[in-house]
Amino acid sequence: MTGLSKKKWLIVVSVVVVLGLAAMAALCVFLFVVPNLFEDHILPVYTTEQIPSSHPGYRRTTLLTKGSVYVNDYEDYPLRLINPEPAQVIGRYGAGKVCAIPGQNPAEYVAADCGSEMPAYEVFRNSQTQPFDWRKAAFQKMQFSWHNGSGVNIFTTDQALITDVVRTLRDGTPVTVSLSVSNSSRNFAEIYLFSDQLPGMAFCPAVYLDPTGPVYLAESVVFEAAGPKSPSQARWISASRPLADWVHSH
C-alpha cells in the first residue's frame, strides 16, 4: 500500500469515526433531551404567591395552576414527605418542579421543590381539602430524628408513648421561658408520627432538648429568616417524663 493510499485510508476511517460519534450524540439528544423538553412544555405551569398567615409570625404560600389552588400554611408546616425527593413530576414553576406524593391524590396534596441550590420539597394542600387533623389521627409508629443528622434515629411502636406525645401537644400549656432555637441548633430535633390516614407523609412536631435536661415539644416551628443561625418562633410545651426518658436513653 503506497503512502498516498494509507493517507486516504486514514481519512476515510477518521470520517467514519466522526460520523459515528455524531450519530450517537444525535441519538442521545433524541432519546433523552427531546422527550424532557417536550414533557416540560406540556406540563401544567404553577405560580406562587406568599402573604402573612393568620397565625402571627408564619407565612401562607399558595401554589396556583389553572383551576386549582394549593396552600402551605401553619397547619401544613409539620407535614414531611417520607420520600424527600418524589419522582413523579406533574408540573413546573420557574426552575422548580411540582410532584405527586406516593399514596396521595394529587387533587388533594402535592409536593413542590422550594429549594434554591438543593431540592427541598414542601407539602401543599388543596385549598378545598381540610387540614390534616393530627389531634384525632391514629398513629402506628414514631421516630425521633435529629434535625442536623448529628445522632442516631430511634423508633417505637409503643402506643402509650405515642398517645402521650399527641396528648401533650393537644392539651399542654405553653412555657413562658425563652428557648434559643436556631436552624443549626445541635439540640433541635423532630418526631415523625406515621399514620395510615396520611400515606406518603408524616406529621412532624419539633423537639428541643435543653442542655440542662428538660425536653420541649412544638406543633410547628418557623424560622424568621434564611440561614443556619436564624431565630425561631414556636409554641413550646414541656414534654412528659416518659418522652424525656425515651429521648435521653438513646
* Domain range list for the chain: 1-42, 47-126, 141-248
| Orientation angle between helical segments 241-248 and 159-171, nearest 10 degrees | 120
Out of 73-77, 89-93, 184-188, least confident range? 184-188
Query: Which three three-digit cell numbers place residue 103?
Result: 399514596
Instruction: Give the torsion sign (CA, 140, 175, 124, 95).
Output: negative
Query: Could you read off the pLDDT of 157-207 as tens digits, one per residue?
Result: 999 999 999 999 999 999 877 776 666 667 888 999 999 999 999 999 999
pTM of the model: 0.78
Query: Could you read off the pLDDT of 146-166 as tens digits, one per residue?
Result: 866 556 789 999 999 999 999
Confidence of residue 89 (pLDDT cuts 50, 70, 90): very high
